Structure 1
Amino acid sequence: MPQLLIRHSTCIMLQYSYRSPLPPTPRQRSRQEWLQNAVSSSLPPVRWPNKARVALWICPNVLHYEYLPPENAWINAWARVPAPDVMMYGRQDFANRVGFWRMLEAVDRHGMRCTAVLNAEALIQNPSIRDAMVERDWDYLGHGINNTRFVHGLAGTEEAAYYRRMRQIVHEQTGKTLKGTGGPGPQAATENTPDILAQLGFTYHSDWFHDDMPTPLRVRSGRLISMPYAMDINDSPFLGSAFEAEDFVDMVKRHFDVLYREGEHSGKVMCVSLHPSLFGQAHRIKYLEEIFEYLRSYEGVWHATGSEISDHYMAHCYDNAMAYLNGVGQ
């Protein structure tokens, strides 16, 4: 059998599908207003603590999928078959029963600092995972309340209430206040999301995937930045595209090498996004160890959390970047 077919047999199945025809969503804006066109290399240099070239954040996903989610007008939460999809639900449940704990052993062995990409309900549904993260003082990046309900079509007040509830659950369960968030499920958002997040006091939004360093977002009030999360250095789409763990290791190394070289002139951010349902599998865990060993072998790397990166950027880089962008825009 050809090698490609062997690899394809290990791929994950598409979790979501979009309904057709899609109902319209509210439209009050004719264009995106938050990101200003600017060549990244022309912005004022970013300097990380101790002259680090790369700010690295490791992001295990800690998720909660509903067995029978309510109907949604835009997205099928389970794409393979109508709910209940016992097989795919079970695959996601593997993450919290087995995969998380196998990955945690590797994280502990290599002293990796983590920012959990978190469905808030996962803290309630999986108290042992919650306690393990709290014990290790992990940081948290919001990923919605669960991974089977979305924010498409919510009015501004409804969306704000959604994020308040998400943040409330995380604070009640962990004692920490979320500083950053992305959308639930497949990075769902509305046209008002950045403004709402800034109004609520969030400092970063992780859904933009547009740069290798944080960037100011022009919100109507407050301050908000986009944070480089990982679309490519993300095991979910990668292992779902006929590649395997050894290929992912190679890509991580190549990606890091370029950012490390470029980071001599202006600090970069590298995120490694991991899903326990995938890299927590027995046949893949040794490759996660290899990734951690490689990233730990370099000096000049700031092993940080999302909150730490955001806090440093806001305190030391944001004003210079905004001054430059304001000048370009005149």
Structure 2
Amino acid sequence: MREGESDPGLYDYVPYRGRTPFAWPGGKKVAVWVSPNLEFYELDPPANPHRKSWAKPHPDVVGYSHRDHANRVSHWRMADVMTKHGFPGSVSLSVALCQHHPRVVEDASQRGWEFFSHGIYNTRYSYGMDEAQERAIIEDSIRTVRDATGQTIKGWLAPALTHTPRTLDLIAEYGLTYTCDLYHDDQPMPVNTTSGRLISMPYSLEVNDHYGFFVYNMSPREYADTLIRQYERLAAEPSGTVMCIPLHSYLIGQPHRIGPFEEVLRHIAADDRAWITRSGDIADHWIANVGDAA
């Protein structure tokens, strides 16, 4: 390393070409997991000096009520389509939803969905937290999800994608096995932590519906075509890959968007190269069968 350069050392450099090939269970080529973000947004959250919660001055009734469509209407529309085509959810959960809207969490649990933590609220950020505060968030997440669903969370996606320098070390210390906060690979990879064993679970910004509709300004059919092209390329790769479809039901569950999205699920479900599964199952299989070689 040249003087003055800095590598945070989060993970080792392993070039894609030259890796030992592997396949998913049943010889499948691509592990496909759908990640509904079941979130809770506060209309007037505590202020964080590093980031505003809402774009408009308080009260941002438009932004708040748009997102509230998720837990009132569009969760059910999205979830029914997923269940119809055999796609379990791996839920990026604002754990406060367990208290605010327990019927949404109960519905996801009854469908056999997995839960991992997306922080307490999606309007409270990790920026500026000290270690005690961050530990409290992790402990709250583990306890709340266990009390509400009986599940012990395995994964983490930082609230609103906000972090501290210690986040990955802490979640590994608490026994979580995967993080969705690294976007550097199309396969799971080991993460360097001070304790525990943590891997990166391929999540996605590129095919996240938030980016598709808010950043790239895609139409519903353009977004659906993007998902199919993403799937087809990953399924054609020489070794096992991971495709995550991150969703926000207040976006994908709108009446004018759900039809093209259902076409995507139908396309993938009909292709025998896909292992349609949950993120925790991907992590468990990779750690048990591939991790040491990686």
Q: Is TM (by shorter chain) over 0.5?
A: yes
Offset at residue 109 of structure 1 (A)? 1.7
TM-score by length of 2: 0.95
Mapped contact 1:160–1:200 kept (Cα < 8 A): no
Offset at residue 164 of structure 1 (A)? 1.1
- Paired position in structure 2 for 1:90: 65
Offset at residue 247 of structure 1 (A)? 0.4
Mapped contact 2:87–2:277 kept (Cα < 8 A): no
5+ long unaligned stretches in structure 2: 1-5
- Paired position in structure 2 for 1:312: 285
Specify which of 53, 58, 62 is matched with residue 29 of structure 2: 53
Mapped contact 2:127–2:163 kept (Cα < 8 A): yes
Amino acid aligned to 1:249:
A
Mapped contact 1:65–1:89 kept (Cα < 8 A): yes
SS at match of 2:195: coil
Q: Percent identity?
A: 35
SS at match of 1:177: coil
SS at match of 1:283: helix
Mapped contact 2:83–2:111 kept (Cα < 8 A): no
SS at match of 2:58: coil
Task: State the structure with more CA Rg.
Answer: 1
How large is the RMSD of aligned CA atoms in angstroms? 1.1
Specify which of 244, 247, 251 is matched with residue 274 of structure 1: 247
What are the equivalent positions in structure 2 for 1:1-330 lying under 5 Å apart?
31-79=7-55, 81-185=56-160, 187-240=161-214, 241-262=216-237, 265-321=238-294
Amino acid aligned to 2:136:
A
Mapped contact 2:90–2:113 kept (Cα < 8 A): yes
Distance 1:276 1:320, change over 3 A: same
The CA distance in 1 between the partners of 2:184 and 2:22, in whole Å, is 16
SS at match of 2:255: coil
Mapped contact 1:141–1:306 kept (Cα < 8 A): no
Mapped contact 1:182–1:207 kept (Cα < 8 A): yes
Mapped contact 1:96–1:126 kept (Cα < 8 A): yes
Offset at residue 43 of structure 1 (A)? 2.5
Offset at residue 141 of structure 1 (A)? 2.4
5+ long unaligned stretches in structure 1: 1-29, 322-330
SS at match of 1:40: coil
The CA distance in 1 between the partners of 2:23 and 2:34, in whole Å, is 20
Provide, for residues 232-283 of structure 1, a one-character-per-residue CA deviation record: whole Å limited to 9, x for no partner. 1111011013211100111111111110000xx3100000111111111111
The CA distance in 2 between the partners of 1:273 and 1:134, in whole Å, is 18
Provide, for residues 117-171 of structure 1, a one-character-per-residue CA deviation record: whole Å limited to 9, x for no partner. 1110112211211111111110012111110001112222321221111111111
The CA distance in 2 between the partners of 1:89 and 1:66, in whole Å, is 7
Mapped contact 1:64–1:146 kept (Cα < 8 A): yes
- Paired position in structure 2 for 1:10: none
Offset at residue 45 of structure 1 (A)? 2.2
The CA distance in 2 between the partners of 1:107 and 1:47, in whole Å, is 25
Amino acid aligned to 1:46:
F
Offset at residue 31 of structure 1 (A)? 3.7
The CA distance in 1 between the partners of 2:16 and 2:172, in whole Å, is 23
Offset at residue 47 of structure 1 (A)? 2.5
TM-score by length of 1: 0.85
The CA distance in 2 between the partners of 1:44 and 1:183, in whole Å, is 31
The CA distance in 2 between the partners of 1:84 and 1:174, in whole Å, is 33
